[in-house]
Amino acid sequence: MRVVFEKPEAMTDSPMHYCPGCTHGVIHRLVAEAIDSLGIREQTIGVASVGCSVFAYDYFNVDMQQAAHGRAPAVATGIKRVLPDKMVFTYQGDGDLASIGMGEIVHAAARGENITVIFVNNAIYGMTSGQMAPTTLVGQKTATSPRGRSAAETGYPIRMCELLATLDGPSYLARVSSHDTKHIIQAGRAIKKAFEMQQQNKGFAMVEVLSTCSVNWGMTPAKSMEWLAENMIPYYPLGVYKDITAEEGK
Amino acid sequence: MRGQVIVDQERCKECSLCITACPHDVLRISAAINSKGYHPVEAYQPENCTGCTFCATICPDVALTIMRKRPERK
């Protein structure tokens, strides 16, 4: 018998504080596997956000820095410019990246900053117990939209990949999902690609991972995976929105 | 038995995603209780396991380690 699957080296032994069935854990593992497979654990610096992933520094076995709410791309910019030979990534949720941190992410992308951004989109504010986020779907019930999000009152959810794809700075933008085994494997490939782009000095790379929040959505973990596939993917279509290496290859 | 699932009982949070992902009905919630108060999963039909790693891929808490038998060389 040989081991075919185990906890990656870039993850620590400490048990994660996430709720049962939270896909943050899956995405942490995919990031750690990407770091391991590229052999960059000693050169990587992560920037954690504010939100459920605020304790990411306890779970990644790499150097980590905690940024103020939404400011992870700005902090990562500073680290990468001072230490250009290090691999710098940020790990942000939708409340962090698409709401308070909208300015930082758009400008980091516009500057083509050579960093990797992992964007976890679960359409709700998880840590603060389920308020409406900028990515909450129209009609979705949350603590602050108990009758469902109304477009007339609060507008429409933001599609970050499409928004950033209009800029010239980003080198790689992809949206993937974490709702079943097949999509998790695809997500792992996209995350690895985003790190490779940084290794090759191609510039800003972001992977948006659709995620669940079973506790705040009020569902079982298995049911929330189905809800993601049925409701989020039609509004947030999966795919690669920008890849300058594919364009170069043509 | 081509594969084997090893469950880290302390990391498991009883979310059952591995049970829904397993194509061979190997896992179930056990009667044991871990220090967080969850009932960790157990391999109750280990002979069905093929070592496909579906359960470990979906496990959010990286609680599962998968072993697989080496294919016999001819």
Specify the number of domains making up chain B. Answer: 1
**Looking at residue B36, which CATH number applies to its domain?**
3.30.70.20
Flag if B66 and A222 touch (Cβ within 8 Å). no
Rounded to 5°, angle at Cα B59 from A205 and A56: 50
The span from the CA of A221 to the CA of A224, in Å, is 5
Residues recorded for chain B: 74
In a domain, B57, yes or no: yes
Judge whether B73 lies within some domain. no
Shortest distance, CA A82 to any CA of chain B (angstroms): 34
Give the residue, A88 or A1, on which the prediction is more confident: A88
| Any domain includes B74 | no
Q: Which residues contact A110 (CB under 8 A, 6 or more apart)?
A: A167, A168, A169
Both tokens assigned to A138: 């129209």
* Stretch A201-222: mean pLDDT: 96
Alpha carbon distance A227, A219 (integer Å): 9
- How many C-beta neighbours within 10 Å does residue A96 have? 32
B5 vs A: CB within 8 A: no
Are the beta carbons of A2 and B70 separated by less than 8 Å?
A: yes
Q: What length is written for chain A?
A: 250
A 55-114 residues inside an 8 A Cβ radius of B: none
- Residue recorded with tokens 């995976």: A225
Q: What percent of chain A has pLDDT over 90?
A: 98
Does B13 fall in a domain? Answer: yes
Q: How far apart are CA A37 and CA A101, in angstroms?
A: 30
Contacts of A6 in chain B (CB under 8 A): 65-66
Phi/psi class of residue A178: alpha, beta or left (left: φ > 0; alpha: ψ in -120 to 50)?
alpha
The whole-number pLDDT of residue B71 equals 75
Cβ atoms of A152 and A141 within 8 Å: the answer is: no
Judge whether B29 lies within some domain.
yes
Half-sphere exposure of B30 (CA within 13 A, CB side): 19
Binning chain B into helix, strand and coil, the percentages to the nearest 5 are 20, 20, 60
A-chain residues within 8 Å CB-CB of B59? 25-26
Reported ipTM: the value is 0.94
| A-contacting residues in B 8-27 (Cβ below 8 Å) | 10-11, 13-17, 20-21
Residue A163: per-residue pLDDT? 96
Residue A249's pLDDT is what? 63
Could you write out the three-class secondary structure of chain A?
CEEEECCCCCECCCCCCCCCCCCHHHHHHHHHHHHHHHCCHHHEEEEECCCHHHHHHHHECCEEEECCCCCHHHHHHHHHHHCCCCEEEEEEEHHHHHHHCHHHHHHHHHCCCCCEEEEEECCCECCCCCECCCCCCCCCCECCECCCCCHHHHCCCCCHHHHHHCCCCCCEEEEEECCCHHHHHHHHHHHHHHHHHHHCCCCCEEEEEECCCHHHHCCCHHHHHHHHHHHHHHHCCCEEEEEHHHHHHC
Confidence of residue B1 (pLDDT cuts 50, 70, 90): confident
Best probe of the B interface among A5, A60, A225, by most B CBs < 10 A, is A5
Q: Is residue B54 part of a domain?
A: yes
**pLDDT digits over A134-146, tens only?**
999 999 999 999 9
- B69 vs A contacts (CB less than 8 Å): 1
Contact between chains at A26 and B54 (C-beta distance less than 8 A): no
pLDDT of residue A246: 85
Architecture of domain A24-249: 3-Layer(aba) Sandwich (3.40)
Domain that holds residue B40: 3-68
Model confidence pLDDT, tens digit, residues A40-71: 999 999 999 999 999 999 999 999 999 999 99
